[in-house]
Amino acid sequence: MNAFIKKVKAKDEMDVMNAMNEMDAYITVEAAIIIPLCLIITMLVLTMTFYLHDRIMIRNILYSGASQLEIYDEDEYEYASENFLQQLSDYANNKTLFAKNISVAMKENDGKNYLSIGYEFGTAVNYFMDGNVTMTTLINRMNPPKFVRICNAVREAFD
């Protein structure tokens, strides 16, 4: 009787061991597929988040810089623009995470001035699209006396 119990017990232990070995192999295969997939998705989400952060920061710097350049008069425009462009470039380099080689320039086309910021975003984004990005906006030169006359005329029309 004891021999029979020992055989049954040994058989149960073998079944348990086989079940554990099968479970371990299943978990290993599952982990080998799911964990790298989760890591890849997480890295893609983080990379796109950093890309969008840098794009938003540079667009904000572009628009605020253009609005600052709008108020300069003709005689102080050249001097102020050179110094100001360097300040914009330094500020952009400090505020972005992964944007590299940031260059700020003013361009003239058809008598209109444009502010342009170019940068390179060099990580995994280069695999999906070109890493070189350029943003440009128009600098609308203000004419304060003309603007004041228009505002006064509008005010008088409504009074």
| Lowest mean pLDDT segment, chosen from 31-40, 59-68, 131-140 | 131-140
At position 126, the amino acid (one-letter code) is N
Q: How far apart are CA 114 and CA 55, in angstroms?
A: 18
Q: Could you tell me which residues come within 8 angstroms of residue 142 by beta carbon, excluding any fewer than 6 positions away? A: 70, 71
pLDDT at 40: 92
Is it the case that residue 105 has pLDDT exceeding 80? yes
| Lowest mean pLDDT segment, chosen from 11-15, 78-82, 131-135, 151-155 | 11-15
